[in-house]
Amino acid sequence: MALKDQIPFGMSLPHRSPDTIGMDAVRTVATKAEALGFRDLWVTENTLDHVNSFDPLTVLTYAAGTTSRIRLGASVLVLPVHDPRMVAHQWATLDYVSNGRAVMGVGIGRPFHFEEFEVPQEARVARFREQIDMIRTLWTQEKVAHKGRFYHLEGTKLGVRPVQTPLPIWMGVGHPNAIRRSAELADGWMGAGGSTSEDFRKAVPLLREALEKAGRDPGKFPISKRIFIAVDEKPDAARAELNRWYTEVYRNPPGTDTSGIHGTPEHVRERLQEMVAQGANHLLLNPVSRHVEQLHALAEVVGLS
């Protein structure tokens, strides 16, 4: 059975790279991914970055204008460094202009995010929870009165409402407590691209157990992982591409590419099948270079072409 017949696949837009990113490549990947049958397009948020990186809302809005069916997601926004009122408005607008195709992924972030944006780390989990609650309330209620620990609104109306009810919020976290929190609060979960397949293998049963305790059906909950990936008939070439990504983007020592997948089409297919066997019901494929070429190669690997 082809992989495409087992789970849906997402495709990363060209949006973060040590190389210059051309808008022709963004447009081509968006339109061809839709035509080939990929489920969704994804970006990350890396505002202050040492490599080229696009703002997620801007590039997703551009992709929305060049497509008509494929879904549009970010994994993840570092929510505590944002004002939830702005986030609610921005993502409701993306959902509106794309006719209900937005998927908002969020996370708490790491210490350096709070330092960069001069946001206090104290009570960050409580702030995060209140932000999620406030965003969903703004999306669903005509007028919002919110009196929380961090934010206050008095009879306020959001400028535009999402098309989707609800607009899905995914979470991308790896700590056991955060995985359990995802089961409580989120509409889907995506393992980070920098995490390993072993991390994913350990996270899935923890997530499923937490979903069951929350009275939610694990079979209907999106369980995904971003996979940094390079496919080539020459295995050494594929490994070199992935190694360059980790050394230049993640600043890892050479040879530490254990969280990605690289190799021949046959090897990559086998590795993706392993992820499905571990419990993935969605996978995000993130080529690290040659995005248009890799899009077609990966479509063939999973059976979309």
CATH number at residue 71: 3.20.20.30
| CA 205 remoteness from chain centre | 20
Cis peptide, bond prior to residue 120, ω within 30 of zero: no
252 band by pLDDT with thresholds 50, 70 and 90: confident
Question: Mean per-residue pLDDT for 251-278?
Answer: 90
Structure-block tokens of residue 156: 């306020």
- Is this model's pTM higher than 0.85 or not? yes
User: How far, in Å, are 106, 124, 132, 139, 210 from residue 185 at the CA level?
Assistant: 11, 15, 8, 16, 11
pLDDT digits (tens, 9 = 90+) for 72-85: 999 999 999 999 99
Q: What is the 3-state secondary structure (H, E, C) of 82-132?
A: CCHHHHHHHHHHHHHHCCCCEEEEEECCCHHHHHHCCCCCCCHHHHHHHHH
Q: pLDDT at position 305, please?
A: 85
- Tell whether the model's pLDDT for residue 44 goes beyond 80: yes
Share of the chain above pLDDT 90, in %: 93
Number of domains, the chain: 1
Residue 60 belongs to what domain range? 3-302
Task: Name residue 43's beta-bridge partners.
Answer: 74
- Please give the mean pLDDT across all residues of the chain: 96
93 band by pLDDT with thresholds 50, 70 and 90: very high
Which DSSP string do the residues of 178-211 spell out, in sequence order?
Answer: HHHHHHHH-SEEEE-TTS-HHHHHHHHHHHHHHH
Question: Which 3 state secondary structure label does DSSP give 272?
Answer: helix
- Tell whether the model's pLDDT for residue 86 goes beyond 70: yes
